């Protein structure tokens, strides 16, 4: 099992550009989520999904879109990148939405 | 909503000493409290967790204690080793209406174990 796979690992964007961060898991977990990690701020929930076709907002959703068409994939879209979105992004999955969260290796995004 | 405070933000200990990290939470309905370890350049990884029906849980050199009345929980690492150096996150969650647990994380503690 690969677990949770995130691509790309690093990305530099110009202000106003759009892009999609990819997340895939092979554990058949229903629950998937996206976090951003900023220095001194811990992990903050952006969006989450409790199953295919169902998504909801977390603590800091503005500027991000998600969709969940399959159990395996949960992409995060930045519609118009801003310097404030410079961060490390982590995707996580959990079986049944409870217990241990399995995290990907992260995507380090810089918006210039 | 839930708010989790974590202290200290940095902790430096000598190899072999103990390390203690403390967290407080605000939502009395929270019932699941995991601890994650994040090594440099990697994603967080669960090291131990506790549910509100127990007061203490131990796994080799790591233990977690929970005081529901005071709404705080702590991570204890004994006989620290250089490989324990990492950032540690606490989290708290409750069951949502949909039946899932939405984790709220503390801001992290950078632990350095000096040889």
Report the residue from A31, A44, A104 with minimal CB separation from B43. Answer: A104
Residue that the structure tokens 């690093």 belong to: A10
Six-digit token pair at B70?
A: 């005071």
Closest CA to B19 of B49, B62, B57: B62
pLDDT at B60 over 90: yes
Supply the pLDDT for residue B110: 97
* Contact residues, chain B to chain A, C-beta under 8 Å: 1, 6, 9, 32, 34, 36, 41-46, 49, 89, 98-108
Does the CB of A27 have a partner CB in chain B at under 8 Å? no
Strand, helix or coil for residue B88:
strand
- CA B57 to CA B75: how far, in whole Å? 10
- Residue of higher predicted confidence among B54 and A63: A63
> For position B98, what pLDDT does the model report?
76
pLDDT of residue B2: 86
Give pLDDT, residue A99: 87
Say yes or no to pLDDT of B97 above 90: no
pLDDT > 90? residue B95: no
pLDDT, averaged across chain B: 94
What's the gap in Å between the CA of B112 and the closest CA on chain A?
Answer: 16
Strands B10-14 and B109-114: parallel
Q: Using the beta-carbon criterion (under 8 Å), do B34 and A98 form an inter-chain contact?
A: no
Which residues make Cβ contacts (< 8 Å) with residue A39, sequence separation at least 6? none
- Among B80, B84, B101, B82, which Cα is nearest to B92's? B101
- The string of pLDDT tens digits covering residues A74-89 is 999 999 999 999 999 9
């Amino acid at each position: 099992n690969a677990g949770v796979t995130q691509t790309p690992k690093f990305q530099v964007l110009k202000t106003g550009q759009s892009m999609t961060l990819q997340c895939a898991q092979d554990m058949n977990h229903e629950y998937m989520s996206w976090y951003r990690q900023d220095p001194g701020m811990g992990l903050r929930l952006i969006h989450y999904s409790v199953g295919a076709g169902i998504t909801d907002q977390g603590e800091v959703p503005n500027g991000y879109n998600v969709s969940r068409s399959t159990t395996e994939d949960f992409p995060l879209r930045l519609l118009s990148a801003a310097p404030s979105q410079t961060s490390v992004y982590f995707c996580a999955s959990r079986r049944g939405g409870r217990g241990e969260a399995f995290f990907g290796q992260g995507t380090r995004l810089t918006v210039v | 909503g839930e708010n989790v405070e974590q202290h200290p933000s940095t902790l430096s200990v000598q190899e072999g000493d103990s390390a203690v990290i403390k967290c407080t939470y605000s939502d009395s309905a929270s019932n699941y409290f995991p601890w994650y370890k994040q090594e440099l350049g990697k994603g967080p990884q669960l090291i131990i967790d506790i549910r509100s029906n127990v007061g203490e849980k131990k796994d080799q050199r790591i233990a977690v204690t929970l005081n529901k009345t005071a709404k705080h929980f702590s991570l204890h690492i004994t006989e620290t080793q250089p490989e324990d150096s990492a950032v540690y996150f606490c989290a708290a969650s409750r069951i949502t209406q949909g039946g899932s647990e939405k984790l709220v994380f503390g801001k992290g503690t950078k632990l350095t174990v000096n040889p």
